[in-house]
Amino acid sequence: MKYSKQREMIFRAVQSMKTHPTADEIYTVLRAKHPNISLGTVYRNLNVLSEMGKIKKIRISSGSDRFDFRVDDHYHMICQACGEVIDIEIPELDPVLKRLESEGFDITELNLNLRGICNKCRRKKEEAI
Ligand code: ZN
Ligand code: MN
């Protein structure tokens, strides 16, 4: 299979997964249909696609990188119990970013991850007590 074809296929897989998958999860989905694809190819193309700005790479200090089909400005809450990655919008941050840019800092990347316990897991915990 051609490089461009593979990249397109991996791009479409990320588009179809709304759960902020890891490279391994994307590989597992693709392998079901395309048994010849390698994990290395998936990794490499995910990195190329994120460098191209077609997908977003979310670096997670406590585990594997996740990949996001959304490339517009948004942030993430990561549940340390179930691992779910939840999108959050923080429009209140916009004026702060604008101010920093007006002060001369050209922001090229912004990662903001909050780690904690999601609503579902918090409720489960409370019920268990
Ligand atoms: Zn959770
Ligand atoms: Mn997201």
- Domain range annotation of the chain: 1-69, 72-129
d(CA 76, CA 120): 16
The pLDDT value given to residue 1 = 60
pLDDT number for residue 38: 95
Tell me phi and psi for residue 23, to 5 degrees: -60, -40
Whole-model pTM: value is: 0.85
For domain 72-129, give the CATH number.
3.30.1490.190
**CA–centroid distance, residue 128 to ligand 1 (Å):** 15
* Architecture label for domain 1-69: Orthogonal Bundle (1.10)
CA of 103 to the centre of ligand 2 (A): 28
pLDDT tens digits, the chain, 129 residues: what are they? 666 889 999 999 999 998 999 999 999 999 999 999 999 999 999 999 999 999 999 998 878 999 999 999 899 999 999 999 999 999 999 999 999 999 999 998 888 999 999 999 999 988 887
Q: Ligand 1 centroid to 121 CA: how many Å?
A: 4
